[in-house]
Amino acid sequence: MITPMVKYSFLIYHKEYDTFLNKLQDIGVLHIQEKANEYDEQTRQALSQIKQINDTLRFLSKRDQEESPEKDGKQAMDVVHDIRQGKEEIDQIEQELVTLKKDMDKARPWGDFSREMESKLEKLGLTPRFFMCNEKRFDSDWENQYYLERIHQESGNLYFVIFQEPGQEIDIDAEEIKLPARPFSELEETYDDKERRIQEINRMFDDYAVKYQQLLRDARKALQEETEFNQAKNHTEAEAQQKVMLLEGWVPETKEQVLTDFLEEQDVLYVREEADKEDPTQVPILLKNNKFARVYEPLQDLFSLPHYHEIDLTPFFAPFFMLFFGFCLGDAGYGVFMLLAVTIYKHTKAKPKMKTYLTMAQWLGLATVIMGAIGGTLFGINLTKADWMGDIKNMFLKPQDLFYLSLAVGMLQILFGMFIKAANLWRQKGFVYSLSTFGWILALLSLIVFAGGDRMGWFAMAEVGTIYHGLLILSGILIFFFSDPRINVFARVGQGIWDAYNVITGVFGDLLSYIRLFAIGISTAILGLVINQIAITFGQIPYAGPLVFVIILLVGHIGNLLISGLGSFVHPMRLIFVEFYKNAGFDGGGKRYKPFSKS
């Protein structure tokens, strides 16, 4: 649900404004209404520094060093500069190492044939030229024709040097090599020096990770508070020839008492207003859900927050998302493994900020266990065909049943979304605006109940035909005559016909989208089955068979869990954010409540 908001407008004498803002920031409950479109120069600089500190903290946190903060007078931006400079130096050295490696590969076969030796030979009138060719193509007559010396033989190639006399032409079928400017030993020494320098810089990074992460966090907090303070001033309007400052903001009703207690001690004028008549996209959103729905709020953030007059869909899509994930992964063994692994990590090494996501993963693992038990799949084993299960195997749903179940779940969510849409319209515009949507709900329910009941043999259509047709006529009246109460009756009929086309084609397409739940679940089961069959086949290898069997099972099922788990997360999100949100008439566009505070 969305926490009700109250708007406050303050008038403060300009000389007391900074003091007032400081105290307001201390209590940290007011969300300041944004009015300025651009940041001032001071704020832009502070935001740039915050970004640099965040990047540095992310880099240092990956060093996995136990922190032991020190206060040695070093400034946070000095740490940022040192880290950035060290990273740039490593990048440059790594580029140089690539070039050095190529030169070393060229120089290695020739040893330390230096330029000094070439100079001595030139004084004797000889010019050394370096060649390489396949040893099968080497012609021994070359040794008689030229001053030729074999230097090195490697990988079927022969490296040799010819000392060319003045005016002598060399015509041989070999590749001439241009040696690097420095001999191999010097190149190797330079290469080792640069690698040692990289190690020194990495030791510096580790040292900084131990000493200065807390310093950076403190500096970031101070910059954020300063930035928020400057932005609060930036969103202030000056009135009465710059003598009076006007500040507007929002406070949740649950925190309003804190603000009113503060205002009783201040000498300021203020006006309190309800949020109902404000632009719903401008009122900040603070969600308040139970423990179960709260863990799914990060998914809501991935799409969009509801605007202030909408219904928060988080508690309504949370159980569906959990069900859909279990439907897609659909292996009880994977669910148990996922549930145990996440629970152990959550209670041992997980950081507090990760626990919400891990709690979600626990619920998803539980859903996978339940849906895997319903479908009869355990680590790729099809329990419906396992003789050792006895009569229990007849209790599992067959693939055809799972197919129809996916459609049934889809229709249930579509209808549920329509109910929410009708409730939203009733709440925002009035009851008459929701009648068309109720008409569609009545039409769909009538078709499902009466057509389905006739097919299942619960009753004969001839016996209930009058009721059935009466409900369809009533739904038609609601659909075509209340499509848009703002326009005349003839225009409403035209609008209703257009809406009917969109709804009929839309609902049919949406319903087919839910088949993906069945398809992904079946593909996960088939991949698990194939992995088991491959493991059994290779497990028959003499001696090493049992070890190979275990390795294939572990690697195969972990890989299947990771790949299928990703699909089981993404596709239900699509069903929620496209099919469900569309049928629920979700608009979105809300801004998250961000109080002006120092925390």
Read off the pLDDT of residues 95-151 as tens digits, 9 standing for 90 and up.
Answer: 999 999 988 888 888 777 656 666 666 777 788 888 989 988 898 888 888 888 888
String of b and e for 29-66 (b: at least 16 CB within 10 Å)? bbbbbeeeeeeeeebeebeebbebbeebbebbeeeebe
3 state DSSP class of 302: helix
> Which of 163, 176, 164, 186 is CA-nearest to residue 112?
186
pLDDT recorded at residue 117: 67
Enumerate the H helices of 131-255 as residue ranges: 142-145, 184-211, 213-234
Give the strand pairing for 377-378 and 381-382. Answer: antiparallel
pLDDT recorded at residue 241: 64
117's enclosing H/E stretch is helix 115-123
Q: How confident is the model at residue 447 (pLDDT cuts 50, 70, 90)?
A: confident
d(CA 337, CA 140): 69
> Which of 324, 330, 335 is CA-nearest to residue 384?
330
Residue 583 has pLDDT above 70, yes or no: yes
Backbone φ/ψ region at 111: left (φ over 0), alpha (ψ -120 to 50), beta: left
pLDDT recorded at residue 239: 67
d(CA 11, CA 183): 79
Specify the amino acid at residue 152: H
Domain span(s) for CATH 3.30.70.2170 in the chain:
5-35+235-285
Cβ atoms of 304 and 588 within 8 Å: the answer is yes
d(CA 573, CA 36): 35
Give the strand pairing for 147-154 and 31-32. Answer: unpaired
Mean pLDDT of 593-599: 81
Cβ atoms of 251 and 32 within 8 Å: the answer is no
Helices (H) and strands (E) in the chain, counts: 21, 13
CA atoms within 13 A on the CB side of 95: 5
Cβ atoms of 323 and 367 within 8 Å: the answer is yes
321-380 tens-digit pLDDT? 999 999 999 889 999 999 999 999 888 888 888 888 889 999 999 999 999 998 888 888
Burial of 570 (0-12, 13-18, 19+ CB in 10 A): exposed
- For 319-370, the DSSP string reads HHHHHHHHHHH--HHHHHHHHHHHHHHHTTT--GGGHHHHHHHHHHHHHHHH
188-229 tens-digit pLDDT? 899 999 999 999 999 999 888 888 888 888 888 888 877 777
Q: How far is CA 444 from the centre of its chain?
A: 37
Residues in CB range of 389: below 8 A, 6 or more apart: 383
d(CA 587, CA 593): 18
Tokens of 42: 């001071």
The structure tokens 């010396």 sit at 149
Cβ atoms of 255 and 598 within 8 Å: the answer is no
Burial of 192 (0-12, 13-18, 19+ CB in 10 A): exposed
> Which of 182, 179, 195, 186 is CA-nearest to residue 98?
195
pLDDT recorded at residue 95: 93
Residues in CB range of 332: below 8 A, 6 or more apart: 368, 369, 372, 373, 377, 378
Enumerate the H helices of 10-114 as residue ranges: 17-27, 41-61, 76-107
Specify the amino acid at residue 450: F
Tokens of 556: 């195969």
Number of Cβ atoms within 10 Å of the Cβ of 184: 21
The structure tokens 């000056």 sit at 238
11-52 tens-digit pLDDT? 887 777 788 888 888 888 888 887 765 666 777 787 888 888
Angle between helices 489-513 and 461-481 (to 10 degrees): 120
Residue 246 has pLDDT above 70, yes or no: yes
Tokens of 508: 């049919």
Helix, strand and coil in the chain, % to nearest 5: 65, 10, 25
pLDDT recorded at residue 324: 93
Average pLDDT, the chain: 84
Asked which of 203-217, 378-392, 431-445 is least confident by mean pLDDT, the reply is: 378-392
Tokens of 201: 């810089």
Q: How confident is the model at residue 463 (pLDDT cuts 50, 70, 90)?
A: low
pLDDT recorded at residue 194: 92
- The CA angle 565-567-569, to the nearest 5 degrees, is 70
Q: Is the pTM of this model over 0.75?
A: no
pLDDT recorded at residue 335: 92
Tokens of 239: 């009135």
Give the strand pairing for 591-592 and 284-285. Answer: parallel
Check the CA dihedral 403-409-411-414 and report its sign.
negative
Tokens of 241: 């020839």
pLDDT recorded at residue 39: 67
Strands (E) in 236-304, as ranges, are 237-239, 244-252, 269-274, 284-285
d(CA 444, CA 436): 13
Cβ atoms of 296 and 321 within 8 Å: the answer is yes
d(CA 413, CA 425): 18
> Which of 594, 7, 580, 33 is CA-nearest to residue 311?
580
Task: State which fold the 5-35+235-285 domain adopts.
Answer: Alpha-Beta Plaits (3.30.70)
Cβ atoms of 437 and 500 within 8 Å: the answer is no
Enumerate the H helices of 391-514 as residue ranges: 399-428, 431-446, 452-456, 461-481, 489-513
The strand order across the sheet containing 127-134 reads 147-154, 157-164, 127-134, 175-177
